[in-house]
A and B are shown apart, each in its own frame.
Chain A
Amino acid sequence: MTVDKKLTGTELIIALAGRLDTTTAPQLEAELKANLPGVEHLVLDFAALDYLSSAGLRVLLAAQKQMNKQGDMVVRSVNETIAEIFEVTGFSDILTIE
Chain B
Amino acid sequence: MKSKNKRISQSFLRWLLVLVSVAFLATTVFLWIIQTRLSEENAISLLALNLSDVREDVSDASDENLLKLTHHVADDLNRMKTIDNAVLQELVNRYDITEINVINEEGIIFATTHPDFMGYDMRNGEQSAEFIGLFYGSTEYVQDYRPTTYDPSLFRKYAGVRLQRGGFVQVGYGAERFQQDIDEFVVGVTRNRHVGSGGCIIIVDEAWNIVSDRMGNEGKNLDVTGLWIDTSSMPENKVFVADVYGQSCYCMYQSVEGYCIVAVMPRSEAALSRNVSVGVTTAMQIMVFAALFIMVFMLVKRLVVNNIYQINDSLSAITEGKLDTVVNVRSHVEFDELSNDINSTVDTLKRYIADAAARIDAELAFAKAIQHSAMPSVFPPYPGRKEFDIHAAMFTAKEVGGDFYDFYFVDEDTLAFLIADVSGKGIPAAMFMMQSKALLKSCAESGMSVEAVFTTANAKLCEGNEAGMFVTAWMGLLNVKTGQLTFANAGHNPPLLRRADGSFEYLKSRAGFVLAGMEGIRYRKNELQLNPGDQIYLYTDGVTEATDAAQTLYGEQRLLDLLNAHHGACAKAICEAVKADVDTFVGEAEQFDDITMLCLNYAGSCVHEEVDA
Contacts and interface: CB of A to CB of B under 8 A. Distances in A.
B470 A58 contact: yes
Interface stretch (B92-100, B309-317, B388-396, B513-521): B513-521
Contacts of B517: 61, 90, 94
Contacts of B512: 90, 93
B545 interface: yes
Nearest to A56: B423
A89 B489 CA distance: 9
A57 B511 CA distance: 15
B572 interface: no
Interface string B414-428: 000000010111000
A90 B592 contact: no
Contacts of B494: 88
A54 interface: yes
A79 B469 CA distance: 25
A56 B289 CA distance: 67
A22 B470 contact: no
Question: Which residue, of A22, A53, A65, A89, has the highest number of chain B Cβ atoms within 10 A?
Answer: A89
B425 A22 contact: yes
A54 B424 contact: yes
Nearest to A84: B556
Contacts, number: 57
B493 interface: yes
B491 to A, nearest CB: 4
A65 B518 contact: yes
Contact of B545 (A53, A58, A62, A88): A53
Contacts of A89: 472, 491-492, 511, 513-514
A53 B521 CA distance: 22
Given A58-B470, A94-B518, A22 B493 contact: no
A57 B514 CA distance: 10
Q: How large is the interface on B (under 10, 10 to 19, 20 to 34, 35 or more residues)?
A: 20 to 34
A91 B470 CA distance: 12
Contact of B513 (A22, A53, A65, A91): A91
Contact of B468 (A22, A61, A88, A90): A61
Nearest to B551: A19
A90 B424 contact: no
Contacts of B468: 58, 61-62, 65
B469 A90 contact: no
B492 A88 contact: yes
B491 A88 contact: yes
Nearest to B469: A58
Given A88-B492, A88-B493, A90-B491, A54 B421 contact: yes
A15 interface: no
Contacts of B511: 87-90
A54 B423 contact: yes
Interface string B464-501: 00001110100000000000000001111110000000
A22 B592 contact: yes
Contact of B423 (A55, A87, A88, A90): A55
Contacts of A57: 423, 470, 514
A58 B469 CA distance: 7
B406 interface: no
Interface in A31-77: 53-55, 57-58, 61-62, 65
A89 B492 CA distance: 6
B83 to A, nearest CB: 137
A90 B541 contact: no
B424 A58 contact: yes
B493 A90 contact: no
Contact of A90 (B421, B425, B513): B513
A94 B458 CA distance: 15
B559 to A, nearest CB: 15
Nearest to B592: A22
A91 B491 contact: yes
B513 A54 contact: no
B296 to A, nearest CB: 50
A65 to B, nearest CB: 7
Contacts of A55: 423-424
A53 B402 CA distance: 14
A54 B517 CA distance: 12
Contacts of A22: 424-425, 592
Contacts of A61: 468, 470, 514, 517-518
Interface string B502-538: 0000000001111001100100000000000000000
A54 B491 CA distance: 11
A75 to B, nearest CB: 15
Contacts of B489: 90
Interface in B566-589: none
Question: Which residue, of A22, A58, A90, A93, has the highest number of chain B Cβ atoms within 10 A?
Answer: A90
Nearest to A29: B468
A18 to B, nearest CB: 12
A97 B304 CA distance: 64
Contacts of A62: 468
A87 B493 CA distance: 10
A65 B470 CA distance: 13
B338 to A, nearest CB: 38
Contacts of A87: 511
A30 B470 CA distance: 19
Nearest 10 pairs of A and B residues by beta carbon: A90-B513, A89-B491, A90-B491, A54-B423, A58-B423, A62-B468, A90-B511, A90-B512, A93-B513, A61-B517
20 contacts: A22-B592, A53-B545, A54-B421, A54-B423, A55-B424, A57-B423, A57-B514, A58-B423, A65-B468, A87-B511, A89-B492, A89-B513, A89-B514, A90-B489, A90-B491, A90-B512, A90-B513, A90-B517, A91-B514, A94-B517
Interface of B: 421, 423-425, 468-470, 472, 489-494, 511-514, 517-518, 521, 541, 545, 592
